[in-house]
Amino acid sequence: NRRTLILGAGAAAVVSPFAASFAQKAKFNYKYAHNLPVTHPLHKGAESVAAAVKAGTAGLVEIQVFPNNQLGNDTDMLSQVRNGGIEIFSIASLILQTLVPAAGISGLGFAFPDYPAVWKAMDGDLGAYMRSEIGKKGLFAQEKIWDNGFRQVTTSTKPVKTAADLDGMKLRVPPSPLWTSMFKAFGAAPASINFAEVYSALQTKIVEGQENPLAVIETAKLYEVQKYLSLTNHMWDGYWQLVNQKAWDRLPDDARKVMAKAMEEAAILERAEVAALNGSLQAVLEKNGMVVNQVDKESLRQKLISAGFYSEWKTKFGDAAWATLEKYTGKLA
């Protein structure tokens, strides 16, 4: 019951003023959707936000989490969060690129050397710039981006050891201009497929491979339909927690504060959990039959440079945005 929930969340001291001010008001029922399995830390994070918001608003705001593309694939969910059919949507930044061009900039190949560089940029000026661009499209992005991770290539056919192995390889990439452009620059033959269809596309060999962080490869059981895991580390990827702007504005001030705080706390926990998984899952995947190999990453980076990938995207993102990124990454090209 409500009372146990509140006390259980350890929020008894701050709840009574909310309970009093919210008691007479209408209830908000919000949907929170994402594309990952329930075993992924992002889902636990979304559930913890729902629980904290319910407790912190004394039941005024109730959030129901829909994992695993239950409400449609990413393309469907993006249009639903825009028209208000879904109030909250967790989406990988680059998939937003079709709507918000600037949202692709954090996924440039080999931009971030490690997590400290990622969080400095995303919690700093680069993230702030991206959030303001997202805001122009009627979507409110919660302040701290959540982690997806550094991405690795898997295939059913052969390992990727150098850039030459990617030549002509049929690989699934998420729907996003930068992703397609990057894998074309690598010399591969990328196919845009929503995550909802990835397992079956791999199983039926519509594509021979895909790329994702270890936490996704393991929780989505892609090891069942993929043999080789090549540690390309070719890009970092993160999830914005988007709220339909009208749905955000409709909430009372206090409720918005409760949600923002819950989102931030969940972000910090989710980042730590994903990083831990990405550090420990290699052994688990090997146990599940995957063959893991190291990669000549420099050969991949050189391929992007010689294909003109960085200069093309510098022009597309613009000098100001590019300079903001390079403040954190150093010169990219």
CB 89 within 8 A of CB 98: no
Q: Is 35 a binder of ligand X2X (CB under 6 A)? A: yes
Count CA atoms within 13 Å of residue 263 on its CB side: 23
Q: How far is the CB of 6 from ligand X2X (least distance, A)?
A: 34
Three-state secondary structure call for residue 98? helix
Amino acid 234 reads H
Exposed, middle or buried: residue 256 (CB in 10 Å: 0-12, 13-18, 19+)? Answer: middle
Interface residue with ligand X2X, options 89, 195, 223, 328 (CB under 6 A): 195
Interface residue with ligand X2X, options 212, 232, 244, 324 (CB under 6 A): 212
Q: Is 241 a binder of ligand X2X (CB under 6 A)? A: no
Q: How far is the CB of 144 from ligand X2X (least distance, A)?
A: 18
Instruction: Find where tokens 């409400």 sit.
Output: 71
* Stretch 261-280 residues interacting with ligand X2X (CB under 6 A): none
Q: Is 119 a binder of ligand X2X (CB under 6 A)? A: no
Q: How far is the CB of 146 from ligand X2X (least distance, A)?
A: 11
Q: Is 290 a binder of ligand X2X (CB under 6 A)? A: no
Q: Is 148 a binder of ligand X2X (CB under 6 A)? A: yes
Instruction: Find where tokens 């400095």 sit.
Output: 120
Residue 148 or residue 241: which is nearer to ligand X2X going by CB? Answer: 148
Count CA atoms within 13 Å of residue 111 on its CB side: 27
Closest CA to 49 of 63, 60, 35: 63
Closest CA to 229 of 307, 270, 188, 281: 281
Q: How many residues bind ligand X2X (CB under 6 A)?
A: 9
Instruction: Find where tokens 């397992």 sit.
Output: 199
Q: What is the spatial distance between Cα 293 and Cα 212, in angstroms, rounded to a whole number?
A: 15
CB 193 within 8 A of CB 95: no
**Total residues found in the chain within this entry:** 333
Residue 54 or residue 151: which is nearer to ligand X2X going by CB? Answer: 151
Residue 148 or residue 230: which is nearer to ligand X2X going by CB? Answer: 148
Residue 185 or residue 216: which is nearer to ligand X2X going by CB? Answer: 216
Q: Is 216 a binder of ligand X2X (CB under 6 A)? A: yes
Q: How far is the CB of 183 from ligand X2X (least distance, A)?
A: 13
Query: What mask of x and - would describe binding to ligand X2X in positions 80 to 99, judged by CB under 6 A?
Result: ------------x--x----
Please give the structure tokens belonging to residue 145.
């981006």
Residue 35 or residue 106: which is nearer to ligand X2X going by CB? Answer: 35
How many other CB atoms sit within 10 Å of the CB of residue 299? 15
Q: Is 310 a binder of ligand X2X (CB under 6 A)? A: no
* Stretch 166-185 residues interacting with ligand X2X (CB under 6 A): 174
Q: Is 324 a binder of ligand X2X (CB under 6 A)? A: no
Q: What is the spatial distance between Cα 141 and Cα 248, in angstroms, rounded to a whole number?
A: 10
Residue 178 or residue 266: which is nearer to ligand X2X going by CB? Answer: 178
Residue 57 or residue 97: which is nearer to ligand X2X going by CB? Answer: 97
Q: Helical H runs in 204-331?
A: 214-219, 245-250, 253-287, 297-306, 309-317, 319-329
Closest CA to 196 of 20, 33, 15, 30: 33
Q: Is 244 a binder of ligand X2X (CB under 6 A)? A: no
Q: How far is the CB of 251 from ligand X2X (least distance, A)?
A: 26
Q: Is 66 a binder of ligand X2X (CB under 6 A)? A: no
For ligand X2X, the binding residues (CB under 6 A) are 35, 92, 95, 148, 174, 195, 212, 216, 237
